[in-house]
Amino acid sequence: MKKTNRSQQTKKERPFPNESGHKSDTIGHLVLIVASLLIFYFAFLLPLAPVYAARNWAPASCTIMTSGMRANHSEKAHNQKFTEEVTYSYEVAGKTYQGNRYKFVEGWYTRGEKSKREPEFIAQYRPGNRTTCYVNPSDPTDVVLNRGLGVSAFLLAGPASLIIIVSAAWRLRQQRQRQRQRPQRKEKLRR
């Protein structure tokens, strides 16, 4: 029986013609999954850490000093994004502090969304109103008004999760197809 180099075999003679594409498919899937996992980590898990830690922070009474929406000045005027901005004072162990963090992950709003969100936000955090803020017991200067994660983290985490799931399902489907085709190919080779 004459031995031939695998690279010299024609496509018809190869027992598994799609095997050469199999490695590039695997690399493509791995790159896609790793990129999605990185997006998921930085967009969702990393911001989730302070939210999780703040569950045990001490509630404190605070007084709103200012509230409104702040523009992101790094963008052009027609494409500006806006976020909530608030300053408040609070007391811990008889000492007065000031804070300005509304939530851990800032939400950005377009000009149209700002016109809807700003009146609601200012009404909720009107200067002079008293509300609850949450203070880190080990560092009284570490404070937040809203301990929630916010929608913006889910906007990136959702698509990243979907890419991971679709890529994994696609990979499993390809593996199953290859497994079903192998016995058929082996039988053809025997004949």
Residues 133 and 171 grouped into a single domain: no
User: 80 with 115, same domain?
Assistant: yes
| H/E segment holding residue 89 | strand 82-92
Asked if 159 contacts 120 with a C-beta cutoff of 8 angstroms, the reply is no
- 111 and 65 within one domain: yes
pLDDT (tens digit, 9 = 90+) per residue, 136-166?
Answer: 999 999 999 998 766 655 665 667 677 777 7
Q: Is residue 184 part of a domain?
A: no
Domain holding 73, by residue range, is 58-146
Q: What is residue 45's predicted lDDT score, i.e. its pLDDT? A: 78
Tell me the mean pLDDT in the region 15-41: 68
Q: Quick check: pTM over 0.85? A: no
Shared-domain flag, residues 122 and 157:
no
104 and 155 fall within a common domain: no
Q: Give the pLDDT of residue 133.
A: 96
Which residue in 168, 179, 96 sits closest to 133, CA to CA?
A: 96
If asked whether residues 74 and 133 sit together in one domain, one would say yes
Model confidence at 63, in pLDDT bands (50, 70, 90)? Answer: very high
Examine the domain organization and report whether 86 and 136 are in the same domain.
yes
The beta-strand segments (E) located in 93-176 are: 95-99, 130-136, 139-144
Same structural domain, 141 and 62: yes
Q: What percent of the chain has pLDDT over 90?
A: 30
- My answer on whether 50 and 62 are in the same domain is no
What domain count does the chain have?
A: 2
One domain for residues 64 and 140: yes
